[in-house]
Amino acid sequence: MGQRRWIFYKIAIFLVVVLVAAGSIHLSNEMKKNEAIVFVEKMGVGWNLGNTLDTTNTGLKKEEAHVYEMYWGNPKTTREMIKEIHDAGFSTIRIPITWKEHMDEDGKIDADWMKRVHEVVDYSIEEELFVIINTHHDDWYYPSYENESQAIEKMKRVWDQISAEFIEYDDYLLFEAMNEPRLIGTEDEWTTGTNEAQIVINHLNQAFVRTVRDSGGYNSERYLLIPTYCASGKSGALEALEIPDDRRIIVSLHQYIPYDFALNDDGTDKWNSDEKTDTEEIDDLMTNIKELFVDKGIPVIISEFGAVDKENLEERLEWLSYYKKKADTEKVMLIWWDAGGDEKKGSSFRIFDRYTLQWIYPEIKDLLTRKS
């Protein structure tokens, strides 16, 4: 073989090796992304332990932890209660937690409160449930430029302590940065947010991820949930969300749609899967989620959803069947919002009676937990 031909031959071999390596790197990255989608699929369907560890504005002064836990009309959480959630077919429990009521002026979390949170998490882990814990009703993360620096400092302070508490817990425990961060009390509160608010939320999400990752242990690999402005699923909020450079990020949304049926007490009790006006908001949501996140290997959990009870069980079941089928198709996980309490029928998301450990609406429970 001539000298020149030999040189060309070596160059060709080199290019092939480079291309194969590049392809391997690309496939490796895609596999990592797909791991996250597969992980969320394994989480199945979830249930929220709402209005329990997230009570706020209680006016209480250093009471025992269970007093706060029961302040909004729920019983103290028990192992038997969590076992029933697992036995009913749920694979995930989301435990909303308010921390601001249990922190001193320096941001140190009360040891008794942390112990109680730990106890409820352990009930759930021991029942082999995936567990999501968050910061809920903690208005210190108000998303404005004026509040940004102190919000980031508190974000670091709070998640430093939570991360240290659960540093040895594996993938069955997930952290969620914030619950519905929004401009409370303004005309923009329930919109997709101002540009300023969206930017601050992106910064807060970044600070959350960095804080957890830097804490080491299992936290360096733990799956982390981040919200959009107000956890909104509207396109303006979805498009504004910046995903941190981290392969174990999950987007968290709250979607009670369509509003007049699912959330508005004074809205309609009718819903029909054959009516485009009833289904289009769900359809648009799932299309946007697919294109903006899932197709890019970024999983999405709708960590709160549901339809209030208007004594319209058949309509709720039809709505749920449609919503769940769409979510399953796009590999989006759902977690039902259940605020509990002892209220009777009407204006409630409650499907499980925590006092009697009985399912108020077993039909909804069965549909939620039914395998696709």
| pLDDT value, residue 210 | 98
CA distances for 13 relative to 9, 10, 19, 20, 314, angstroms: 6, 5, 10, 11, 66
- Residue 7 DSSP SS3: helix
Mean pLDDT by 10 residues, the chain (372 residues): 45 44 43 81 98 95 93 96 98 98 95 98 98 97 98 98 98 98 98 98 98 98 98 98 97 98 96 98 98 97 97 97 98 97 70 96 98 78
Pull the structure tokens for residue 61. 């002064």
Give catalytic residue positions. Answer: 180, 304
Give the integer Cα–Cα distance in Å for 246 and 301.
17
- The predicted model scores a pTM of 0.91
- Residue 91 DSSP SS3: coil
| pLDDT value, residue 21 | 46
| pLDDT value, residue 266 | 93
| pLDDT value, residue 61 | 86
CB 210 within 8 A of CB 225: no
Q: How many helices (H) and strands (E) does the chain have?
A: 11, 10
